[in-house]
A and B are shown apart, each in its own frame.
Chain A
Amino acid sequence: MRRAVITGVGVVSPFGVGTSTFWRALREGRNAVRPIRSFDVTTFQTKIAAEVPIVHANRSWIEGHLTGDDSDLPFDRVLTDAEVSGALRDRKAAFTLLAGAEAWRAAGCGEAERNAPLVIALGLEQALLEDFSPVLRNGAVDWTDEPTLSLPRVRFRSAVDLPAQLLRALFGLKGSVIVNSSACAAGTLAVAQAAALIERGRTDVVLCGGADSMVNPLGIGGMTRLGAPSPRNQSDACRPFDTRRDGLVIGEGAAMFVLEEEERARKRNAPRLGIVAGWGSTQDAYRVTAPRPDGAAARAAMVRAIDKARISRDAIGYVNAHGTGTPLNDPAEAKAIRDTFGPHADHLPVSSIKGAIGHLMAAAGAIEIAASLLAFEADFLPGTTNHRQLDSECPIEVVGESGRSARVDWLLSNSFGFGGQNASIVLGRPQ
């Protein structure tokens, strides 16, 4: 039976650029939530985020993080085009390029992988506010001069698949480009879709993952009006499964993976970081703005993923939770975990990294899969930053702030999106 293994990973996180930076910070129990620097938040209610530590994610920042021999990838051409078109004004575009390049190189990809499909989870197009200025007159958008404005720099918004376009150009990819827009479940679903393509024999290699940034005026403003972020502008604002939780913290970044058919990876001695063994998706069909409190659909996603992996529920040794730190998500997810695992849940370690890196929205599932690989790479389960007092409505075994050393062979990662799109994925230790 064909299986997909992860042979390369690349991360741009609120801790900085690179997978090793990300993993080291998680192992050290660091927290990346801090005051927003990339735009003026003086008058905003929400003044904090888990922001990638750069004010302008532009060409020079990207070039500053390129390492080694870069002649194998046409960064110069792609960045020149991106600069001319204004593409890099969308922060997630820059994150995608660096994370994608790291994954591609880590997997040792080259000419033989050019036909790989790209399956990527992306969030909302970024509205480019500075482009509104020329058409704002007397309290209204005046389109009269709009057609004469200097394209292509004037965009108003980035295309939904902009980061995918850049990656495709960077690697010369010739395969399908699939953009998953399933909100906060998108990252996990993109990796699952990629694994399905390999398992069904459609391809041997897929580049996949997710990228997002809502750390911009409209993103932060819109989420604040919705009431999703914690009202406290402190670094410990996001407190998953804690009695004191009162909302999420917005994060940004990207995580990209190379998925490969297991035997192909073995034959070329590629690194094998984890097996993508099972996945499941369901929908709440409940409310637009709240998860099902009984966690039934979330439970169904977990059960499907475990069944697809053909393992027993007791074989799961760790759950990387969606764990947003919001009043409604955490008890629903805890109930779903308990209902899924029964007595096994009493001793099943569960953690959420959103206290440390915030909620990366469309990219959340992808970066949480990258975090989960620590369990195989270092026999270490990431901690739940800011979790100090377990809420009795969340009766699960939450890993504390400092993480935990443990050897597990199978783990499960959850992502539950707006509107009730649920996704769970099972990863296995490579043999």
Chain B
Amino acid sequence: MTIAITGYAWRTPLGNTIDGAIRRLLAGERALQRNTRFPIGGYACKVAAMINDDPAPSSYQRFLRRMGLYAREAALQAYTAAAPTVAENRLGLFFGYGGLRAHWNDLMPGLAEQRSDFSSSWERGFKRFHPFWMLQNLSNNAHAIVAKELHARGDGLTFGGANAGAQALVGAIRSLKAGACDVACVAAYDTLLEPETLVEMAARGVVATDVEAPAAYSLEASGFVPGEAAAALVLERAENAAGQMLARIEARDTADGSADAPSVTTLESLLLGFTQPEDVIDGAARCDRAFDQRELAVLGSYLPGAALISTLGAMGQVGAAASLLQAIALTELLRRGVLSPVAALTKECASAVRPILKAEPTTARSAIGLSVGPPGLAGAVRLQLP
């Protein structure tokens, strides 16, 4: 059974519209700026791929914070674009989120007057928490809001962790194939731009430290740009999608027990799960020289001659949202018949795959996107034009 994408939307560091972000992707732009989300003076990692526009004003700001609001916007916009005809009890909703956002501003009324041992913590502040503070930090709050707004009463799952977007896609596709729902709205959101996340990633040496950050797949690659994004797709069984089909989609996820990124053998196993080799691959773009070179070697052996692009190299690593961003970017690029360059990459790599250095036309009809994250997680999407 084939599953079709019939609508999508995103909020990305390269822009919040499909056209705007794709245009910048094709121009070879990279979302890379000094982090202005909070005072960054003492931090080792001072760069970020940030969404610079605030979420639209919403009555749901009582329940959702910034990334949840972006996810809501993307889900509603994608659904509107797809405009499916479906009974409420056959509309499924599948969300992936990267983790709890601490929302320091929300916590301050509770923390400001605490003692170091947090004795009498209720009287010293917790009693001043907003009554909805717990709801604002729940894992499935965006899911709940979107379910209400879309009247989605069918199958529903919320996934957590760095691979949650890929898993939400896998879950939605399985639900559609099993007949548990007729239309699935899949959304994922994540930000790595949190103080403690940046500190931890810098301590592990996996992030870029300044705006001169070398490109993914370059021999100088020394860390990825931490980013943030929200994205949503609407999926239907192909026979129901008719003229609305934008692309066919498959998704896979796996893990291998590694502490950080998975081994390239794991990437290879993901690729082997797809039955047909591709001409275009959207790489994981870890920006770790050793990992990148091993990834290139695997891709070269499995897909010799394939064109290599890098959505995540341009938009930053976006955790749980990665697979959805790749699915949208690849669909758009294939439909437009053009491939985007690996942002900031200026030289060919010694590999059997061919990194795109400048936007170029393509006749490819299908492509694969790979993403990785800790601990040992990997996701893959395959897109094929109808």
Chain A residues near B (Cβ < 8 Å): 39-45, 122-125, 127, 129-130, 132-133, 136, 139-141, 143-149, 151-152, 154-157, 159-161, 164-165, 168-169, 172-183, 186, 189, 193, 196, 200, 217-218, 221-223, 225-227, 281-289, 297, 300, 304, 417-421
Q: A169-B257, A285-B152 are in contact. Are A161 and B112 (CB under 8 A)?
A: no
CB distance A285 to B147 under 8 Å?
Answer: yes
Interface string of B87-122 (1 = CB under 8 A from A): 011000100011110101001101111101111111
Complex Cα spacing A227 to B323, Å: 38
In the complex, B200 has a CB within 8 A of chain A: yes
Chain A residues contacting B355 (CB-CB under 8 Å) are: none
CA gap between A5 and B143 in the complex, in Å = 31
Does any Cβ of A come within 8 Å of B218's Cβ?
Answer: no
**Are B42 and A160 touching (Cβ within 8 A)?**
no
Interface 1/0 per residue, B123-138 and A, CB below 8 Å = 1101101111111011
- Assembly CA distance A420 to B135 (angstroms): 13
Q: Which of A139, A154, A183, A226 contacts B132 (CB 8 A)?
A: A226
The 5 A-B pairs of least Cβ separation, nearest first, read A419-B144, A222-B134, A181-B160, A221-B126, A181-B139
Task: List the A side residues contacting B157 at CB < 8 Å.
Answer: 180, 182, 189, 193, 281
| A160 to B159 CA separation, bound complex (whole angstroms) | 10
State which of B134, B138, B139, B199 has its C-beta within 8 Å of the C-beta of A146. Answer: B199
Residue of chain A at shortest CB distance from B162:
A161
Contacting residue for A180 out of B135, B158, B254, CB 8 A: B158
Contact of A183 among B124, B158, B255 (CB under 8 A): B158
Q: Please give me the residue from chain A that is nearest to B171 by CB atom.
A: A193
Contact of B158 among A149, A164, A182 (CB under 8 A): A182
B99: chain A residues at CB < 8 Å are: 125, 157, 159-160
Q: How far is A148 from B199 in the complex, measured between Cα atoms in Å? A: 9
| Closest residue on chain A to residue B118 by CB atoms | A129
Q: Is the CB of B203 within 8 A of A151?
A: yes
Given contacts A141-B108, A161-B160, contact A221 B63 (CB under 8 A): no
Footprint of A on B, CB under 8 Å? 38-39, 41-44, 63, 88-89, 93, 97-100, 102, 104, 107-108, 110-114, 116-124, 126-127, 129-135, 137-141, 143-145, 147-148, 150-164, 167, 171, 174, 178, 180, 195-196, 199-200, 202-203, 253-257, 375-377
In the bound complex, CA of A379 to CA of B356 (Å): 66
Residues on B with beta carbons closer than 8 Å to the beta carbon of A152: 200, 203
The answer on a CB contact under 8 Å between A226 and B160 is no
Residue from A127, A180, A418 within 8 A of B144 (CB atoms): A418
Q: Most B CB atoms within 10 A — which of A152, A180, A193, A217? A: A180
**Residue in contact with A161 in the complex, picked from B118, B123, B161, B257, CB distance below 8 Å:** B161
How far in angstroms is the closest Cβ of chain B from A174? 6
Partner of B137 from A124, A129, A175, A227 at Cβ < 8 Å: A124
Contact A178 B199 (CB under 8 A): no
Contact (Cβ within 8 A) B104 A141: yes
Most buried by A among B140, B180, B195, B199: B140
A165 to B256, CA, bound (A): 11
Residue of A nearest to B41 (CB): A144
Q: What is the bound-complex CA distance between A393 and B151, given in angstroms?
A: 27
| B159 in contact with A284 (CB, 8 Å) | no
Chain A, residue nearest B110 (CB): A221
- Contacts A140-B112, A155-B196, A174-B256 given; does A181 touch B134 at CB 8 Å: no
Q: Flag if A419 contacts B104 (CB, 8 Å).
A: no
From B38, B42, B143, B161, A179 is in contact (CB under 8 Å) with: B161
Min Cβ gap A82→B in Å is: 13
- CB < 8 Å neighbour of A43 from B121, B132, B257: B121
Given known A-B contacts A132-B111, A222-B134, A419-B140, A196 and B100 have beta carbons under 8 A apart: no
A-B contact pairs, 27 of them (CB 8 A): A42-B119, A43-B121, A127-B100, A127-B102, A129-B114, A133-B116, A136-B112, A141-B107, A146-B195, A155-B196, A156-B195, A174-B256, A176-B254, A176-B255, A180-B160, A181-B159, A181-B160, A217-B126, A226-B133, A226-B134, A227-B131, A285-B88, A288-B145, A417-B140, A418-B141, A419-B148, A421-B140
